[in-house]
Amino acid sequence: MLSAIINFFRKLIFRQKNVKLGFYGSTNVGKTTLANRMAVDLLGEPLGNVSPVPHETRNVMSKEHVELKTGGYSLVMNILDMPGIAVKVDYRDFMEYGLGKKEAQTRAKEATRGIVEAVKWLENVDAVLVVVDSTEDPYDQINITLLGNLEARNIPFIIVANKIDLPGSNTKRIHEVFPNYPVVEVSAATGQNMENLYDELAIHLL
Amino acid sequence: MHICLKCARVAKSVDEIENGCPCGSKVFVYKRDDLDSKRLEPIKSARFEEQRGKERKNDNLDEEPGYKYNEVWLSKGAQVSKLVADSNSKDPKIENVRQIKRGVFEVDLLGLKSGPLVVRDSEGVYYVRLPFEQADELIDD
């Protein structure tokens, strides 16, 4: 009851809030697709390019003043699409997608630089969407260390179980691995369940 | 003299040492001008002989492509190899720990302070050590 009253006054005072929202996760989980979906839904224009080749996003891509209106309140966000985080970047992986050696090496270097930039940005984000691929096991080094760091820094986050449109999607596994964290199941590619994500954003960030 | 660890510029004044090098670095390595450079060589040779035994290969550090080495004595007798970056390089490195040769490393202290540890192996593969604290409750023992 007390928390509800506090929340009521908090919302009353902060009717509009500007939030730097970071999109974090491993490579190819759909961060940019999700960011594009939100940017198109709320602002009318996309944010970045997507590609099956890992580390397509190698710089922080941002879209400012993305406004989410819900229940009479307004949440203004700066969407920050981060480069995918990895602990190993091997240029030879890119060559398997048809890139030449020189191009692959350049991409690897840029990707590594992007990882460094994404890590540094944790100092500046207000909230995070941790995007995971629902067709993959979410219990991996990247996700665990990322969530641990967010908790240690008291940065609010929502786990986004993406790619629910794909066969092999197993969102139950994600809920079981992270039972104590908010999990929203979406398909950034098709737009399925995006309303649920917007509602969760309003709940957690307003 | 005080030499910037990052760009090898010699500090012109005490103010520069206090405020930092124009390149942005705030780390200077001190090299005493009165040291006899010839006296240093026998000491270095003896140390290498002692540490590496008969397996010494190329000790001519000047042959290392793109770099020149000066040895600087720190207080308490510690010996440090200072790396002078190739001034013609337009491709800044992102790894903040690099092995120049066996037993000789370059460490970007400022990079390590502000970001994750990044190393690159001899095949060009990058490894990133994420500077995250893991919450105990997330790990199953």
Per residue in B19-56, pLDDT (tens digit) is 788 887 777 777 655 444 433 333 344 444 455 444 44
Does the ipTM exceed 0.85? no
Q: What is the pLDDT of residue A24?
A: 96
Residue B13 has pLDDT above 60, yes or no: yes
User: What is residue A9's predicted lDDT score, i.e. its pLDDT?
Assistant: 52
User: What SS3 class is residue B67?
Assistant: coil
Look at B126 and A152 and tell me if their CB atoms are within 8 Å: no
Average pLDDT, chain B: 61
Q: State how far the alpha carbon of A130 is from the alpha carbons of A57, A84, A150, in Å.
A: 16, 11, 10
Q: What is the pLDDT of residue A204?
A: 80
Structure tokens at B70: 């000066």
**Which residues of chain B have a CB within 8 Å of the CB of A144?**
134, 138-139
Pairwise pLDDT comparison (A112 vs A68), residue with the higher score: A112
State the smallest CA–CA distance between residue B129 and chain A in angstroms.
6
Q: Rounded to an integer, what distance in angstroms lies between the CA atom of residue A76 and that of residue A156? A: 16
A112: nearest CB among B114, B126, B138: B126
Q: Which residues of A touch B125 (CB under 8 A)?
A: 88-92, 108
Residue A127 confidence (pLDDT) above 90 = yes
Among A108-117, B78-87, B98-107, B124-133, whose mean pLDDT is lowest?
B78-87
Q: If you average pLDDT over residues A111-125, what whole number do you get?
A: 92
Q: How far is CA B25 from the centre of its chain?
A: 13
Domain A17-205 - what CATH class?
alpha beta
Q: Is the pLDDT of residue B6 over 80?
A: no
H or E stretch covering B26: none
- Interchain CB distance below 8 Å, B94 and A91: no
Domain ranges of chain B: 1-87, 93-136
CA distance A155 to B133: 13
**Yes or no, beta carbons of B94 and A112 under 8 Å apart:** yes
Are A122 and A69 within 8 A, CB to CB? no
Q: Which residues contact B68 (CB under 8 A, 6 or more apart)?
A: B61, B62, B84
Looking at beta carbons, which residues of chain A come within 8 Å of B129? 87
What is the average pLDDT value for chain A, to the nearest integer?
Answer: 88
Residues with Cβ < 8 Å from B34, sequence gap 6 or more?
A: none
Pairing of strands B79-84, B68-73: antiparallel
pLDDT confidence of residue B31: 66
* Residue of B134, B137, B141 to mutate, interface with A, max A Cβ within 10 Å: B134
Is B135 within 8 Å of A85 when comparing Cβ atoms? Answer: no
Collapsing DSSP states into helix, strand and coil, what is residue B132? coil
List, for residues B83-116, the tens digit of each pLDDT value. 434 434 456 678 888 877 777 777 887 777 777 8
